[in-house]
Structures are given as structure tokens and as C-alpha cells.
Amino acid sequence: MDQDRPDRSPEAIAKRKKAADQARAANIRAGYTHDPFLEEVTARYVAGEITRDEMREVLIRKFSPT
């Protein structure tokens, strides 16, 4: 198994989904409005397609002022 890639076991996916759901709930309480791009990137992270660091890089590129 490639140690640089996320664990794609059902247990690992469930753990990432729970964390993402909790973060989304906290953000909604803080006024978050639905962002399709953010939700798509989060879904890729939850599925184990990208690492947490890769997710962070994608979001920084998208939302940082140029």
C-alpha cells in the first residue's frame, strides 16, 4: 500500500465523512452557505481520492487572492 495515499477502507472513509459532516455543521452555524466547489473537494477527500494536504492546496489555490 502506498503510504502517501489515504486509506480507502470503509472505516477510514466513514471516519473522514464524520469529520467532514461535523465541520460542515459548525460552518453552517457560523453562516456558511453551500459552495458546490467546496462540497466536491470535500467529497473527493472523504472518498480517499486526495489527501488532506492536497485538499488544502486545492482550496488555497481556489480561494486565495491572486
Q: What is the pLDDT of residues 2-60, one digit of tens each?
A: 558 899 999 999 999 999 999 999 999 999 999 999 999 999 999 999 999 999 999 99
User: Hey, what amino acid is at 62?
Assistant: K
Alpha helices in 1-66 (DSSP H): 10-29, 36-47, 52-63
The pTM for the full model equals 0.85
Give CA–CA dist 36/54, Å, rounded.
Answer: 18
The reported pLDDT for the residue numbered 1 is: 47
The reported pLDDT for the residue numbered 3 is: 59
The reported pLDDT for the residue numbered 4 is: 82
User: Hey, what amino acid is at 33?
Assistant: T
The reported pLDDT for the residue numbered 55 is: 97
Give CA–CA dist 16/10, Å, rounded.
Answer: 10
Could you count the other beta carbons within 10 Å of the beta carbon of residue 13?
A: 15
